[in-house]
Structure formats: structure tokens, C-alpha cells
Structure 1
Amino acid sequence: MTETMETATSTTPKQPQISEMFSKFALAFKTKTFEFFADETAAADETTDVDAGFSLLDSAEDFIPDQKVIILKPDQPLSQNQDFLPQKELAVKNGETQIKPLNTQLANTLISSVLSTVSSFEASYLQLQTAHVPFNEESIKVADKALVSALQRLSDLKQVYRDLCKNPDFGDDLPIGSCLEAQVEENQSKLRILGTVSNSLQTEIDQKDSEVSVLKKKLSEVQRFNSLSSKKLCSSLNLNSEVLLTVKVFDSVLNDACRTMHKFTKILVDLMRKARWDLDLAANSVHSDVDYVKKGHNRYAFLSYVSLVMFKGFNLEGFGLGSEGEVSCNGLGLDSVKSNSSLKQLLEHVSSNPMELLSRNPTCEFSRFCEKKYQELMHPAMESSIFSNLDQNEVVLNSWRSLSMFYDSFVNMASSVWTLHKLAFSFDPVVDIFQMERGVDFSMVYMEDVTRRCTMPNKTRLKVGFTVVPGFKIGRTVIQSQVYLCA
């Protein structure tokens, strides 16, 4: 029996003591804790934990039957400002930490109150700025008081926020109103801003209306003065005729007409180029078989075309607006009544703006003259080619700021030619107009080379290619015709 017990004692393993088991467990836990916080990857951590676990339990001496191994991880560190954020409240109850939810309604009300106060400050500041121009002392005081009140309100809300961070229960009975009340106050502040801006704009409108009224009054006075001056001029035609009816005045008005024709021709040629016209072919259709000295000289053909159309009918008293049997008055004297009538029309025309004259009286003689000359100058085929193509028209008009540039140039040209005609029929005898036929010999008395090439007599007699601008004869004085010369 004794031997059996000894055999059993020798074959059965010796159980470790309790204190010894806890000592080994504490040592293993400490080791595993250091390994857990080592700077390794997750996969390596798992492998290390498993291997270490098996190494801890692989001996029969260290094995603890019917026990569970628990690994405790440390809590995440609190953020630096967590103690001051009112999102959650940490409370200890029965030795356990509990988290109380945030009072969302109170937070929304606080934010709405801040936004409302900021809007109120913005409205008051705008009123303060507006009160300085023009200076209004009472409004400045009211706006300043409102600004101070808004800043004080913001300071109070800041203090409420701080108290709420320390103690979330502090805000349960705060007198800050509701979220809807704050939104209403914010909308009222926005309405104040809109009202201030509207009042400022209305003040500017009133000032502009006052300026317009003053300018209208001045315009009325100027028009009345011009009317009286026109009557005085018309009543003293005999005195004016001594000043106006001179060769120097006529030559000045003629130069102005030539200048406007040059400007209109340049615009017309540019429009043709934008419409992709063949300018050489177009110039040849005006004056055929002309040997131009330079390539760009075909512009003189277009200037000749515009000039001869505008001066067509210049020798007629009605400028071609009357009957077909209208009598030419070139070189003949007119009775004093007709002469004074032309001078009166001249003074009336130069005292008004031609554009305003067309809009004010579209049936007057000048308006009919403009209509007639435009139809003769811009015949339908030509006008259709330049303006009718919508796609191309956009390209053409985009090169100019607007079509009014073309229209204004034509009206100014027509006005200068109309003025020259009325001045010519105010002379006694009437100014004579002439132009040179193609192929005649050049004469320095009656002609002027438009290119300024023929200044000295040449051995070979140059001949006229075409007339660019007609010439005029006032009594015994001759104003030379401008011509383009050919060999």
C-alpha cells in the first residue's frame, strides 16, 4: 500500500502554490503590456501576442487550469480642451463613469443668439456710416448706442458659453430666449440693412432728379436764347450777307464737306472689306480701266463715287427734291426774295443739330434730302451685300461699336453738303459748279491733282482719269476741281 502511494506520488505532477502562480502571472502580464505598446505593425503585434501566449502556457508547470487570460488596454487620452467642451458631461455614479448627452436645444439657441447679435451689429454699423454723409448727429448717437448694446450682448453670450462649459446644468434656466426668437431678430436686422441701403439709393435718386430738373431748366433757357438769336439773324440778313457771302467762308464750308466725305468713304470702304468685297473690282466698276500709280489709290475711286453722288443736283435750287423740270441756276442771279430764303434756311440749319432735326421733323426738306441721297448712294444690291447676311453682319458690326457710327457719319456728310448748297444759292450770282471729263488735259487753273504729284509743269501732258471732287466758280474766282491724273 505504501509502495502504491509512493508510485502514485512519483507519477502525479506536483501542483504549484497559489502565491507562486500569481507571481508568475504578474510577471507575464507586465511583459505582455510592454510588448503591446511597442511600435510595431498590427500583424506583427498579433503574431507576437499569439507566440507569447503559447510560450507562457507551453509548460505544465506554468499552466493554470480553468483560467481566462484578459489583456487590458489603457483608456484613450483626453484632448487638451475636452474639459471645456459642453458636448458631454462626465459624472461618477456608484464608482462608474457615466456620459450625459448634450443639450442640443440650448446649443442651437446660443448659436442663433450669437448670429442674431452679429446681424444687429452689422445693421447698426451701416446706419452709423450712413449717418455721417450727410452728417446727422442724432442718428449717429442712436447708431452708436445700438453698437454698444450689441457688443455688450456678445460679451454676455460669451460668459454664458464659459459657464455652460463648466456646468452644463447651468444653462437650463438662462434668459436667452428661444431659437425662433433669435431668428426673428436676425431677420429684422437684415431688414434694417435693406432699409438703410434703400434709403441711401432713394436719396441719390432724388439728387439726380434735382440735377435733371436744373439741367432741363438750363436747356429750356438755351433753346429760348437760340430761338431769339435765330430770329435776330433772320431779321438782319443784309448785315449777315456781308459777313457770310465771301469766298473765304464758302471755301471753309467746302473743306468741311470734303472732310466729312473722306470720313464716310473710309467707313464705307472698311465695311466693304469686312464684307469681303474685291475692292479692285469694285473700284473698276466706278471708273474702269484706270492705271493707278499705287495699289491703295483705288480709294480715290470710292471717294469720287461718294462725292459725285452727293453733289448731284447741286446746281438746282431745290437740290433735286423738286419736279423733274427744275431749272438750273448756275451762274445766274436770283431775285432778292429767293436769295434771302436760302440764307434764312442756311441760318436755321446751322443753328440746330442735324440728328435732332431728323428726329424732330422727319418730313422736312433736309430729311427728304438725306433719304434721297442714301438711296442713290447705297442702292439695294450694295446694301444687301453689306448688311443683309446676318452671320456676316454680326462680324461686320462687331468691328464697329455700333451701326450708329455709319449712320452718324452719313448724316453729318449730308448736313455739310446741304449747308454748302444753301450758301451757294445765297450768293448773287449763284455759285457755279463744274467737273472735268475723262481724258482732258490737266490745267493748273481749274484742276488740282488729288495725289499732290503734279506740282510742276511736265513735258508729257497728263490727262484726267476721273473727277474726285467738283470745282466751283464764284464770280471771277475759281475753286479748283480735285482730279486723279493718268499718263
Structure 2
Amino acid sequence: MREVETSSPPQFSAMFQKLAMAVKAKTYEFFTEDGESINPEGGGGFSLLDSTEDFIPDQKVVVLKPDSPPKTKTLLKPKPPRVRKLDTQMGLSLISSIFATLSSFEASYLQLQAAHAPFVEETVKAADRALVSNLQKLSDLKQFYRTHRQSLDLETDSLPIGSCLESRVQENQSKLRALGTVSNRLQGEMDGKDLRVWTLRNKLSEIQKSNSKLSKRLSESDGGVVLSVRVYESVLGDAFRDVKRFTKVLIELMEKAGWDLDLAASYVHPEVEFVKKGHNRYALLSYVCLGMFRGFDGEGFDLDDDDGEDSSSSLRELMQHVSSNPMELLERDKECGFSRFCDKKYHELIHPSMESSIFSNMDRNEAVLSSWRSLSTFYESFVAMASSVWTLHKLALCFDPAVEIFRVESGVDFSIVFMENVLRRREDKKLSMNLDRAKVGFTVVPGFKVGCTVIQSQVYLTGFKCK
């Protein structure tokens, strides 16, 4: 048998192994930094040929390096600024200067206030300059304190402040100046009040002298000197207001009883055509007012008194009636002239048939049908009206000559001298009036003649249209 000859491995494997070793060495040398050399033959190295796997051509090798530790920065703490300490003497001097400046500022401010009432221009300007100067000094002290604390080279000899004693003296002087300003203002107020007291005392003395003269004239019963037309007009106005108040109460009672006010007004003034529906109340007001003033020109108001009254007795009765309460007077003396006047006027105004018609449907707790003193409101308003008319009558008799009363007949032409339109104070824009052609419908309030002065009669006019 023929023997097989064993030959040595080809030289190609040895050459490839050398080439791999060279590539390995070059690769590690390429990825090494800072000139570090890697021994490819060392036991700790990594060999591409150590793997049991086959070699893969064209394979890229990536080497991962660990991150370098971060570099820490050291922070330096700033050095605290060097501050000069304030010694005790310097602090006391500075505080004393501040308080002295504040006291001076307060005194200047009080002077500025006092200079405005009354206004004195020069004083205001001087006080204003002092205020600005004090504020500037406070600012300088503040700046000095800051500079002294921050600057180490500042000399303490050239300071803008004085000693503690000087500052206290300035502070006390400023306080005295402020107290002087307040004292002057209070003294001015006292002088003004003293002047007012002196003026009021003079007025009081004059009033007392006037009262003594009036009392003397009243004691002498010289009524013509004391009385005046203005006084009479004032009392007449009070009487007319009381008449209107009673008429309003009477109309309300008539409406509750179911009365036809237009029909009642036509009975009072049958020939008058009212322009507006609500004007029927003027007819009822005329009925009450003329009824209360009927017999006014008589000395005893037609109370069947035989004794005549002169001005002195009328003035005495007037003073007695004014000083008393009419309600209490009726309860105290039912036979006096005023009580008989109330009874007479009530029976003239309120007839028995009218009384029974008005009061028949009233509640028993509210009305007593036997007397005109039944309803409290009705009774009080009637007594107030009667008292006002009675007072006016006694006042009219005090004049010399006595006051005359007159009324205007229906159909007379309107005269501005003797008459006044009752609608004057209640002008209606819908009413077109021509006073030249207006006629008197009826008299609402009679007129009076006091000496040479005429107090106009209030009348309701006809002859105008409603737009």
C-alpha cells in the first residue's frame, strides 16, 4: 500500500497571522490618547484573534471611553464692606439735631396755617421758606449719616451738626415759637367771640328798650301805634288757612256720606259754570268763608250784645284770647262770647238736615249725633277756624278807625286794585285767561280796608277757557 505523505501547513496561514497582529497594533495605537501605548501582547489586552468565531472582514471597531468627571468651581464669598461704627457722642448729637429740626419744622408749619386766616402774603412766604429749609436740613443729616458710616477717611471735626446742648436749645426755641403761634390764634378767636358777645348785648339792649316802649304803649291802650297792616295780613292768612282746613274735612265727610259735590256747589252759586270739575271746592270754600265772616263789621259779631266795644276793651280781649287755649276756653266757660260765637256759626254753616245726612252713616264709636262736638278732627278744625276768625275780628276793632270788610258781587268786572284771582297760586297751563274780559263768578275770601290800605278780595273768575 502506498503511504500518504504528510506535508507541512502552507505558509499562507502564518502570513495572515502576522498581518492580523499588525492591524491589531495599529488599531489600538489609533484610539489611544495622550501618547499612551498599548502592548498588544500583554495578557490584559484585547485580541481580535482571541475569539473562537471566524474573522469577519470589513468590520468596524468602536471603542467607548468613560466620561471624565465634571470640574467643580469654587465660589468665593464676598468680603463684607467695612463700616465705621458710630460712637455714642456722635449719635447723641445727630439725634438731637434731628429732633431740633423737626421741632422747627412743626413751628414753621403752624405759622403757615395761621398765616392763611387771615391771609398774610409775607408771612406765608416766610413760613414756606422755613419749611423748605428744614426739609433740606433733614436731607443733609441723612446724607451725612450715610457718608459717615461708609467713609473711613471722613474727618469728624467738620460736622454739619452742633452739640447736644445747642440742639436742645434750638428745639425748645421752636416749641416756644409753636406755642406762641397757637396762643395768638386762640387769642384771636377769643377777641372775635368777645366782639360777637358785645354786639349781641347791644342788640339785646335795643330789643329790651323796644319791648319796654311797646309795653308802655300797650298799657296806655294806644292800639293805633302798635298795630300795622302787616300784622293784620298775617292774622288774616292764618284764618284763611284754618278755613281751608275745615272745608277740606267737611268735603271728605260729604263724600263719605255720598253727597254730589257738583250739585252742592250749584246750590251755593247757581249761576256759575266751573271750568274744571275740581273747581267745585272753591264754591264750598266760599260758602264756609263768607259764612264765618258774616257779621264781621258788627262790634259784637251780631251776638246780640247791647254793650258796645271800644278799641281798649277789644285789645284787652284780644290779648286774653291769644294767651289762652281755645279748646280749654270752651270747656271752662260755655257762656263766654267765643263759645256763643262757635255755636252760632256752627248752626249757620251746618243745618240739621245736613248734619243728620253727614253723620248718620258714621260708626257709633266715631260720632255722637247730638252735638257739633262729635268728631274729634271735625271739632278741632272747626274750633281752630272759629278762634282765628274771632282773633281777627278783635284785632280789626283795635284799629282806629276800625277795619272795614267788603265782598264783590257776582258778574262784576275784574279789578286788580280790589281783587285777586284765587287761582293765582295754582296756575294751570291749560287755562287761557284774559283778565280784561274776566268776570267775577263769586267771592271766596272777602277783602278788607285798613285805613288807606286795601287788602284784596280773593275771587273766582269766569270768562276764560280750558285749552
More helix by share: 1
- Which structure has the bigger radius of gyration? 2
